Structure 1
Amino acid sequence: MGDYSVIADVSASLIKLLREQMTPDPIPQPELIGLGNPVDKGDFYLSLFLYNVKESGDNRKTQMISRGTGEIQYPPMAVDLHYMMTVQSPADLQSRALDEQRILGRAMQVLYDNSVLRGSTVVGTLAEHGEEVRVVMDSISGDGMLNMWNFADTPYRLTVSYIVGPVMIDSTRIKTTKRVLERDVSIQG
């Protein structure tokens, strides 16, 4: 569980993982991997873009959480984060497509081999609470991806979509309760 910053912590954890495992090959410097809209002008060879956040009904919690004597906290909200991973190589036109495919292949391999983010891979509130999240490639069709790639006059770039979650965002709602001091047990006979 985490506070409101847990979404940013997931993004930072993904970038940290990709930077640690993709440099210096196939990407020469870690700063060339980052968070950004796929059409932002920049130097990223590989970018992650959080394009959607959905409540994860399958992982929704309903149990109140005890916070000591006299207080219970409402359960956390479970969400799934949807990312676009986009590749852009600065290579010349003749080798650009192959270079982008190598970068994408390595990034997919890294996320597949680390399909559960946990331990030293995570940062922030995820690390503080020992949380883990799954990383799964999204099964968006080619047409679906092209429809999502609706960024004005920018031509389509090689992109893969991932779902990361469930991510738990703590509720700030707390309810005070009174301790049970007496119990009456009657037996009906």
Structure 2
Amino acid sequence: MQRRVQRRFQRRERPVSYRAINATTVTLLDLLTSRFVADPLLRPFFDSGAGGSMVLSARTPQEMADSNEAGLSVWLYRIARDPELLNQPPRRVAADAYEYRPLPLRLHYLMTPVVNDPEVSGNDPGMEQFIIGKVLQSLHDTPVLHGALLGGDLAGSGSRLTVRLEPMDLEEITRVWDAMESSYQLCISYEVSLVLIASNQAAEHLGPVLSVEPEYGVITEVNS
């Protein structure tokens, strides 16, 4: 019986470290880059092998513009704790051990086209809309990221990330641009969940239950 228990825990999913946040960003960038390069219209701009100079970057739109970069900004602008999973019971990792609960997070990304090179053909609102449209199409077709789509520390972890277009109104997005001290640009926001940050604490070992001593009482009076 003990051998079966040990085998079952050896097959458990590999926990993901604090680097899961960066790995989520890498996963998004890799997915979108592959879709942009595969698109006949956008490939000449985003495929460096075909002479394209546009890139997908985790920098803010302003940082890309200051570095004379054009393409798509995939900027992680907000991290929120998921309240619904905080009270889940700890996971058993051995017959006598439990691991500390991971920290469940929701990551929010602002997707902003950055087209600032006058030499780029189609340097107008049309190019911005092509880029935004490709993001919407790509993440609509692939709303769940798992398996071979995962990159960085998430690769081989068995994680599943759900990507959801956020219904942010103009006022909410404007506050984000105000915080960057920049003028408003065409953009959309996506939420990626759940990203689990494994605890760095060692597993808690618990001794076996050796005996149970139930106690009984007698109700002698009921107060109405």
TM range (shorter): 0.7 to 0.9
**1:135 maps onto 2:153 in alignment:** no
| Counterpart selection for 1:7 from 7, 21, 29 | 21
**1:181 maps onto 2:210 in alignment:** yes
- Return 5+ residue gaps in structure 2 as ranges: 1-14, 49-53, 218-224
Which residue in the other structure is 1:96 paired with? 124
Kept in 1, the 8 Å contact 2:70–2:117? The answer is no
AA aligned to 2:205 is T
Deviation (angstroms), 1:89: 1.8
Per-residue CA deviation, residues 10-66 of structure 1 (Å, 9 max, x unaligned), is 000000000111015414226611111121023131011111100111333521122
| Counterpart selection for 2:76 from 50, 58, 67 | 50
Task: Give the alignment of 1:82-161 within 5 angstroms.
Answer: 82-90=108-116, 92=118, 95-150=123-178, 151-152=180-181, 154-161=182-189
Deviation (angstroms), 1:132: 0.6
**Number of residue pairs matched by the alignment:** 187
Among all aligned residue pairs of Structure 1 and Structure 2, give the percentage whose two residues are the same amino acid. 24
Kept in 2, the 8 Å contact 1:61–1:76? The answer is no
Greater radius of gyration (CA):
2
AA aligned to 1:13 is T
TM-score by length of 2: 0.75
Which residue in the other structure is 2:33 paired with? 19
Which residue in the other structure is 2:55 paired with? 32
Distance in 1 separating the partners of 2:122 and 2:37: 23
- Return 5+ residue gaps in structure 1 as ranges: none
Which residue in the other structure is 1:163 paired with? 191
TM-score by length of 1: 0.88
| Shift in alpha-carbon separation, 1:148–1:172, aligned structure 2, 3 A | same
Kept in 2, the 8 Å contact 1:61–1:77? The answer is no
Aligned alpha-carbon RMSD (Å): 2.4
Deviation (angstroms), 1:185: 7.3
SS in 1 for 2:124: helix
| Shift in alpha-carbon separation, 1:5–1:46, aligned structure 2, 3 A | same
